[in-house]
Structure 1
């Protein structure tokens, strides 16, 4: 190949390569620009300052060198570069070659016998230039060009046609319908095409192209010289190719910049010049009619040019989908943030960027905006245990403005575990929105995982069964598998795993009923992903209905013996020790709590018990005593809503007035947030408000907030307006510092000193068990309180082992009050209420030794049945009971016959389950005659059997649940003989998700998949055990199978599944997107033009309006009348307007009208003023004279 000026030859490995000096591009050898930046007018991004006359608007971001190599095809449609790499050849290159007649959109192959230069480098962004009607699609290459003419070097103007030998033809006046080509003198190189500054650059073939150039170059220096003496050296600095550029002119460019209006055939606008001149010369009419006709002519000319309005505006919309799931490493997530910053910093004035985060559910971090609003941090909380790529793409497409071009860019590893993303890709293709991607590679080589634990759904007691464990491995390796049942080791084995799936079999026998959990642990060396090295599953043992009895000390008594004597299967446990998880409760049909305080259970256990009753159809029985119901702290607990009785304080049953001072710690530790978006201070305020609501109108209360000093929020006042007092308490905020205990107690004592004759005075101190400071001489203070009959209770936030716990316990002991500790801030409202109830009145009613020596009487309520008659004999007396009130919809079985008429036994349905409250102490010193009654056992057993009968089984329903990735598929099969009953009212499926806190059940929509089958799909949003339950008519339900999600779906092995890169590549292929290494170049690659609306309908309407106005003005004489009104208003005299005379008549040479012409028979003129001077008008001939003259002319012609 013949090298041009400034080249040098070298031979490497037998391959001759011609390389142009990089200095001709203003670059140092071996160094090219690596980051694409948008160019600006007046400078180039090639690393050099342009010389005089250089129009750098045609310069793209390119770092290139001239080489020779194998033949290449370079597509100009923005998809990808295709090449055949040879020895020592750059990986990506483009060719300046002879423009043979090849399919549009590609640079053709080099024909035989013609040498060609090749340019290598990465495609970068083009500089937008509105003078060319839009944005270039991409920059292809850059090189040098030596202009020459027949007479030597000379300038190339925009209207000048260079017609010398070997020079590329440039002529904007003649549209070019094919490739323009030329050859550099003496170099043997061929240039594919050149366009001047006013001609559009169009390469490729799309629907909105008006030219068919296959390759185009822009002259960067029209005044260059071949010898390169002048700055710039006549070098060609940029090559652009795109499908959004159109032919245009200066007129069209101005309209485009100002009004965003362009024309399909702008040259037709030139018709306005001859048409306007002809109208002015021969058809011009004065007045409004003339203007209307001129306007109509202009509208028609504009309509011929095909005007279109670009309603989308300039620029490109980019919707960025960022993967924030667990499978993406922290390094890749940090890289994603940097890429977002690069995209925000490199976008142009018209470009917009939106950010959607990819997780279990998509979250829109930033709407489409011109502003930089993300700030490098994500604000939305996502579920990292999922990658629903399809939902994220759908959300992104919903953000697209159909009037503007848009692209979606995905930054992800592509390992989606949601629905199929290809449907979203097809929708994107229909919308004309390509989906590009930047792949985040994920290391999985050498991974071994527990893929599944296959267990039977249910077995009978002592029934042998077999289960399998599936291990997935990337390659051959050794490992150890440990199998645990309910936390205890069942088996351990070492195996050699082959590549792929490996199956291990185990056997077991179970005796106790309920759900049993099996866990599998895998240990292998050098495992890159340890999160998936565990698995779990559950199996249910169908052992029939069973009871769980919870007591405070874990010891049985009369109640346990009565249940066992009735052959009811019952398990005894200590309330504080039993876990009371849904797994542990699954084997029981009912739970009995015997005289156990709520503190032994705690809020979480009580919440799970409530869920067990309401959502799983279990039964609950709570018995009375001094440590139960309101006295035991069940008021405002999670079980309060489940029980058929209420435990509030009622005004009519109060006997003592109470003065109470509530002292709250508002130190800095109270500002710590807790679940639900609240702080510890907020929950303490809620507890205070609950205390106020429990007090009567005759009680008094004071609220004090304490940090380093006391602050009286509410002075001691009667509770006549509890809502106002509660409102002030709810506004207390943490102010920092610690709590000074001594000053707090002193301030509370001063407030209670204002109580007067109130006999019950009480202080409730709430403090942090780890931050209670400055106790001072509290012992002497509490001795003074005892003399003044003031009691002190303490609620400590923390545990009994905290540093200041002993101080708080000593204060409560010396103050003769209660001491309560809790590490759960959400327990505070219940603890506040519990202490208030214990002080305001004793809710455990004891017999009066004088009037009720034999006990308190009670009686069965007439007509009440549980599982039969409860007997007609008199109900025995009792020595004590918990004062409660029956709730609406609940049934009273036994009631007291004292002044309270309180329920002793009540029952009701709650959710899917049943609940019973027996307010009597069934086994203790207050049982009285009831504990010695002959019908004692039958009474308790009858209530228990009613609870056990609560589950109405659906024998005609079979439920199956299978896990598929992060989804669970629930299938319901109906008995064909009974399926007709469910046609109009299909059964409902409830899925109980796992969680430490109580979770709301999921209720998917069942869809008919056959005559007797239904199916639903549920997303497993968190790890753990999921339970199913099918509800039918008449309170019937069936417990379905249990499925577990042992670890995040992000770490599920992808055996037999396409890799993430393959998924993204297929999505991009369907949507006509591409993989991007440099994401910033996406702005230079719009998939289509912004939406353009044709203005022809509007021009047609405007033309019709103008035409109607012109005709109406002439026919109805509108303009004459409006002229008369205008003249009358201006001069006070009406002057007849002159009749418009066409200009062409005045040029025919006709003689002027004679003086004896009769006057125009127009309406009489009224002279408004005598001094008004009328314009002189020649008299017109009368009508008879006109006819007489016509006859004379006719006779003369006949002669």
Structure 2
């Protein structure tokens, strides 16, 4: 279960398909985009999802849901034309038709087109008991539709939709004067002005406050819609407060139809019943089974809706007004609960034992049925057609033949269609459908009399440029020519054989070498200049001493070979030992100083002995 605000409502149909039931509790229609509304409607109609709308002051007609895709799938309508007990209403709708209203708000649709459509829908909500007038204003007031009884809403809507933009800015004072003059003499119980003006270019508001106060004292209420939040918006808001009406700021003009219909229903003062009542049991249903409603506390009030002809009224409110309605729409089910779920009017039910049982059973009856395990559904795209294939095999592996299957296809843009599946082989059923538009296609398969079988989907990519069109040989040849290569065709093995020799590229490395040299230089300076710990210093001294010894030149020993040769010659001339007396041995001469490091070390060793 996911709980949150409108930001948690799935943005598209594919995301909604992951839910079995969606509950909208007192959410205003302005919180939804048109795409979300269309997706919610398709979710119920085409995918078999469940939808429950509950609330009061921010739901149904007062929430701006009249003439929306969501209203189409609910078991109730929100217009009050058929109610005979409501007060009659005279209403003037004054629309800014200055030059800026001729700008496009959407492709092919101007701002004035949206405002005109909003006024036309407002007229469609009124009954012959009501009266309406529509004025388009710039520097003067033009009565596109003079005050008239709403006996032909289609004719009034057509006249309003034909209005075109003018020039200059809207003059508020003359608009108020003209509107109040028309409303003053109307034979209705309620009188109301709805002013649509530019928040950036509303001119001539010198006497506006006094005019609105005077009208309010005569029973005429005033509501204001500001196009954008501009410098004139605060004054427009003040006018709505003085006039006892409501104030709206709209940046996205596509919201205008919802705002105008919401305001029209609010002005009728017939959309709410603000008094306590006890719920009464209606048609028997699984949602209300086993619940004792005689013990239920009183609820504080409810919204007023009209039940559709085929809707089931499970609980009643005051008089003939329904409290809980359900019906089947397409392959899904939807319900309406005309009070809140505990925020205000519905709070007494929070401590009632039957509250959890009622909404638990209601949720199970609305939720989408689980998919069966005895069928596999596949959807593919071939050209501009979608292909549906169902393999029906039960858990024991036995094929299921002669099934009566149909598929509902929910396409992009809220489009839907239905096709019958034909058996093409043992346990196999197939059908096709148009799928030429880009976007998602969700397919729901049902068996007649058995309900949901399963669902599957496929997406057609947006744009022809994403579709495969073969190999662009001209582009490949151009790339090969520019880069000095060649185009190779044939098998994949042929592409990677006989490749040209490898080509090496050299990159300069002087930066890295300079950086290494600078690092070595810094280390050398640090060893000489920094005071090192004793152990490190001793090690450095040994290294430095060894370096100096390695650099000292070696003294060459004198060549004694000539002396030895002279001595041999003397011995040859001397007589034998027996003929010559042995000479007296000469005194030992002083030892020559050592010439090499090795001799020095040897001499020191001998002296120590």
TM-score by length of 2: 0.69
1:631 partner SS: coil
Higher-helix-fraction structure? 2
**8 Å CA contact 1:715, 1:751 repeated in 2:** no
2:72 partner SS: coil
**8 Å CA contact 1:859, 1:874 repeated in 2:** no
Equivalent runs, 1:176-191 vs 2, <5 Å: none
Are 1:846 and 2:274 counterparts?
yes
Equivalent runs, 1:800-839 vs 2, <5 Å: 800=229, 804-839=232-267
Equivalent runs, 1:692-771 vs 2, <5 Å: 692-719=123-150, 722=153, 724-755=155-186, 758=188, 760-771=190-201
1:786 partner SS: helix
**8 Å CA contact 2:45, 2:329 repeated in 1:** yes
Shift of 1:691: 2.7
Shift of 1:1002: 5.1
**8 Å CA contact 1:913, 1:951 repeated in 2:** no
Are 1:593 and 2:8 counterparts?
no
**Aligned counterparts of 2:93 and 2:122: Cα–Cα separation in 1:** 9
2:173 partner SS: helix
Q: Find the counterpart in structure 1 of residue 118 from structure 2.
A: 687
**Aligned counterparts of 2:152 and 2:464: Cα–Cα separation in 1:** 54
User: Quick one: structure 1 residues 676 and 891, their matched pair in 2 at CA, closer, same or farther if it must change by over 3 Å?
Assistant: farther
Q: Find the counterpart in structure 2 of residue 787 from structure 1.
A: 217
**Aligned counterparts of 2:190 and 2:323: Cα–Cα separation in 1:** 29
Shift of 1:901: 1.8
Are 1:926 and 2:345 counterparts?
yes
**Aligned counterparts of 1:621 and 1:835: Cα–Cα separation in 2:** 24
* Residues 1163-1198 of structure 1, C-alpha deviations (whole Å, 9 max, x = no match): xxxxxxxxxxxxxxxxxxxxxxxxxxxxxxxxxxxx
**Aligned counterparts of 1:653 and 1:1027: Cα–Cα separation in 2:** 43
**8 Å CA contact 1:782, 1:815 repeated in 2:** yes
User: Quick one: structure 1 residues 1001 and 652, their matched pair in 2 at CA, closer, same or farther if it must change by over 3 Å?
Assistant: closer
Equivalent runs, 1:433-472 vs 2, <5 Å: none
User: Quick one: structure 1 residues 616 and 771, their matched pair in 2 at CA, closer, same or farther if it must change by over 3 Å?
Assistant: farther
TM-score by length of 1: 0.37
**Aligned counterparts of 1:775 and 1:792: Cα–Cα separation in 2:** 15
Are 1:1031 and 2:446 counterparts?
yes
The answer for unaligned runs of 5 or more in structure 2 is 475-609
**8 Å CA contact 1:859, 1:875 repeated in 2:** no
* Residues 146-177 of structure 1, C-alpha deviations (whole Å, 9 max, x = no match): xxxxxxxxxxxxxxxxxxxxxxxxxxxxxxxx
Q: Find the counterpart in structure 1 of residue 410 from structure 2.
A: 992
Q: Find the counterpart in structure 2 of residue 16 from structure 1.
A: none
Shift of 1:647: 1.9
Are 1:880 and 2:311 counterparts?
no
Shift of 1:932: 3.2
Supply the RMSD in Å over aligned alpha carbons. 3.3
**8 Å CA contact 2:21, 2:49 repeated in 1:** yes
Q: Find the counterpart in structure 2 of residue 648 from structure 1.
A: 79
Structure of greater relative contact order (alpha carbons < 8 Å, 6+ residues apart): 2
**Aligned counterparts of 2:301 and 2:79: Cα–Cα separation in 1:** 18
Q: Find the counterpart in structure 2 of residue 1048 from structure 1.
A: 463
**8 Å CA contact 2:89, 2:130 repeated in 1:** yes
User: Quick one: structure 1 residues 1015 and 667, their matched pair in 2 at CA, closer, same or farther if it must change by over 3 Å?
Assistant: same
The answer for unaligned runs of 5 or more in structure 1 is 1-569, 848-854, 1062-1199
1:1043 partner SS: strand
**8 Å CA contact 1:654, 1:841 repeated in 2:** no
**Aligned counterparts of 2:419 and 2:252: Cα–Cα separation in 1:** 33
User: Quick one: structure 1 residues 1043 and 878, their matched pair in 2 at CA, closer, same or farther if it must change by over 3 Å?
Assistant: same
1:921 partner SS: coil
User: Quick one: structure 1 residues 804 and 1006, their matched pair in 2 at CA, closer, same or farther if it must change by over 3 Å?
Assistant: farther
Out of 361, 371, 378, the position equivalent to 1:960 is: 378
Q: Find the counterpart in structure 2 of residue 935 from structure 1.
A: 354
Shift of 1:1006: 5.4
Shift of 1:1043: 3.1
**Aligned counterparts of 2:258 and 2:126: Cα–Cα separation in 1:** 15
User: Quick one: structure 1 residues 840 and 867, their matched pair in 2 at CA, closer, same or farther if it must change by over 3 Å?
Assistant: closer
* Residues 559-616 of structure 1, C-alpha deviations (whole Å, 9 max, x = no match): xxxxxxxxxxx11111146443223322210011112222223433222211111111
**Aligned counterparts of 1:860 and 1:1060: Cα–Cα separation in 2:** 75
**8 Å CA contact 1:1028, 1:1040 repeated in 2:** yes
**Aligned counterparts of 2:375 and 2:59: Cα–Cα separation in 1:** 40
* Residues 1084-1110 of structure 1, C-alpha deviations (whole Å, 9 max, x = no match): xxxxxxxxxxxxxxxxxxxxxxxxxxx
With 914-923 and 972-981 compared, the bigger mean Cα shift is at 972-981
Larger radius of gyration: 2
**Aligned counterparts of 2:75 and 2:159: Cα–Cα separation in 1:** 33
* Residues 983-1035 of structure 1, C-alpha deviations (whole Å, 9 max, x = no match): xx4x33344334xxx33135577565533334455665455443232232136
The number of residues matched between the two structures is 472
**Aligned counterparts of 1:577 and 1:592: Cα–Cα separation in 2:** 11
User: Quick one: structure 1 residues 969 and 771, their matched pair in 2 at CA, closer, same or farther if it must change by over 3 Å?
Assistant: farther
